[in-house]
Amino acid sequence: ALQRLKTSEKELNEVWSNLVEIQRLLKEARVRARKMDDELLQYVKAPENARGELPRQAIDRYKESIGFKEALKRMGRVTYEYGYRVALARFHAVHPDSKVEDPFTIHPEDNLVSMERHAECYNVLCRIAAAILKFEGRKAEAGRERFALYLGSEWGIAF
């Protein structure tokens, strides 16, 4: 009976040590399962996050593109052309007998002029429009000659 008791205690100790080992392995398995769940969740959310990031990245790339910058320049030109036309209308209201050629009319001979020269002319037109608006803002009662002198002295434009 004593021998049996010792054998039973020995078996019980082995079972307890096996139980402790199994509990440790179970705990490790749960930790791994939790990590895998977290990774799976990240992989599931990654396309959603990428979908959110892609439009932002596309917009940033588009804003850096030459096409976008050229479109901004064209919009600026339209704004300047409109401002020029407003200034020209004001000038005609004050000086109805004056004749000013529309610089935005496209003539066949314009095709012979280089793009660099077009850009220079465009910049001059913008400066003239700004000068007209500035001149009109002073409420001056001057004639064409005084305006031409004003443009010449203010902007270095010769007529």
Reply yes or no on whether the pLDDT at 129 is more than 70. Answer: no
Instruction: Give the whole-angstrom CA distance, residue 120 versus residue 58.
Output: 34
Sorted by where each begins, the domain ranges of the chain are 1-64, 69-155
With 0.85 as the threshold, say if the pTM is over it.
no
pLDDT digits (tens, 9 = 90+) for 47-103: 777 677 777 788 888 888 888 777 777 776 666 677 777 777 888 888 888 777 776
Amino acid 111 reads: N
